[in-house]
Amino acid sequence: MEIKTHKDLLVWQKSIDLVIDVYLATQKFPKDELFALTNQMKRCVTSIPANIAEGAGRRSEKEFSQFLHVSLGSASELETFLIISNRLNYLDNNTYNTLTNKTSEIIRMISGLLKSVKEK
């Protein structure tokens, strides 16, 4: 399959799905978390596909790599917020495990994409 835009990248597609999952999960958080943990989680999860898209749109391997690194950082940040949310009992174990597994998969995919971009 030929990659024409960022939307053709499976990692971008899975990142969009993760955004939806996190938004739905944070709807159940206490209202006093709206501008704290909820906001932080939404910011970092949306940063993942946004930076993949921006990097892919730059058409330079060096710039694409830089934006992939930012996406990787955002995914790691999300992992931290998921752990905190689970420990505060805002996320049940099932939701936590699902979101963590999806985040880990995206981290692996971004890392693989970074490796392939650097090898070009």
* Range 90-101 average pLDDT: 98
Q: pTM score, two decimals? A: 0.93
> How far is it, in rounded angstroms, from Cα 119 to Cα 57?
19
Does the pLDDT at position 76 exceed 60? yes
Q: How confident is the model at residue 5 (pLDDT cuts 50, 70, 90)?
A: confident
> How far is it, in rounded angstroms, from Cα 31 to Cα 89?
14
Q: Three-state secondary structure along 7-40? A: HHCHHHHHHHHHHHHHHHHHCCCCHHHCCCHHHH
Q: Residue 4: its pLDDT value, please?
A: 79
Q: Residue 1: its pLDDT value, please?
A: 45
> How far is it, in rounded angstroms, from Cα 98 to Cα 50?
22
Percent of the chain beyond pLDDT 90?
A: 84
Q: Residue 101: its pLDDT value, please?
A: 98
Q: How confident is the model at residue 60 (pLDDT cuts 50, 70, 90)?
A: confident
